Amino acid sequence: MSDIRYLQPTDTSEAMHLSRVAGWNQTEDDWRRVISIAPDGCFGIRTEGRLVATATAICYGKELAWIGMVLTDPDYRGRGYARRLMKRALEYLAGRDVAWIKLDATDMGRPLYSSFGFEDECLVERWWRGGTEGTSARLHGDTVLPLDLDGAAFGTDRSELLAKLSPYGCVAGTNGYAMWRPGEKALYFGPCVARQEEEGRRLFDGFLSAHGGQDIFWDLLPGNSVAVRLASAAGFECRRRLTRMTLKGRGSASPLGNNDQYVYAIAGFEYG
């Protein structure tokens, strides 16, 4: 028996096993957060008493939904579990009348998403830097987020997500903000949104002066050449490339008004 079920907060340690085996950076807190934001959009397949596959879909209003955490235990791959979960997630989103659906696809996941009609939008890169000695500055700054700017960057309102991420680490001003949070393998820098290059640089430099002693992951859109330059100059190296993919959910949907030039770091492959 392998029915699709809603993921529950009690599933997080098993879900964590799936992401850890895949080498992902998510923590159990990340799983808890996704489930708390989208309790009716997080699905799993349980078989032989184990959670063996997952997929999550977060709605940012009616404009945009983000699919993530598409994972199948290596022992259970090739049995159609990810396909069933994707179908279920897309049915759920059709019921929510969402205009656009996006995700960040690994090379393993991409053929599956293409078969559902997702089209390539742009590349997303994971950059990494190992910790260096002697950085211990403290970061000071506002934590009142410029939500209008985030809306202009991302194309829709993701204030609920940002409110849940900001307590881990956040510095903000009227022209930008940066956040960071713990990861399973490295500290995660992101999301970071800035109106101008100087602000992006200031936020990133401030973050790095306080946290450069730790290993850091930074997921960026290579179309933002300023972000790429900042990452290279600070000694980060590109470790992985994923493909951001898009599916039109509703026929009459007008284009999403996002602006990648404001995006210095994404919020996570599972959030966009």
Which residues are at the interface with ligand COA (CB under 6 A)?
A: 22, 53, 70-72, 77-83, 105-106, 108-109, 111-112
Q: How far is the CB of 248 from ligand COA (least distance, A)?
A: 19
Q: Answer yes or no: are the C-beta atoms of 183 and 168 closer than 8 Å.
A: no
Q: What is the DSSP string of 105-174?
A: E-TTTHHHHHHTT-EEEEEEEEEEE---TT--PPP--B----HHHHHHHHSS--HHHHHHHGGGSEEEET
Shortest Å distance, C-beta 269 to ligand COA? 7
Residue nearest ligand COA by beta-carbon distance: 109
Compute the least distance from the CB of residue 114 to ligand COA, in Å: 8
Largest CA distance in the chain: 56
Could you tell me the smallest distance in angstroms from the CB atom of residue 51 to ligand COA?
13
**Complex with ligand COA: residue 94 or 108, whichever CB lies closer:** 108
Distance, in Å, from the CA atom of 110 to the CA atom of 101, rounded to the nearest integer, reads 14
CA quadruple 222, 228, 231, 237: dihedral sign: positive
Nearer to ligand COA among residue 54 and residue 156 (C-beta): 54
Burial (Cβ within 10 Å: 0-12, 13-18, ≥19) of residue 28: middle
Shortest Cβ 266–ligand COA spacing (Å): 14
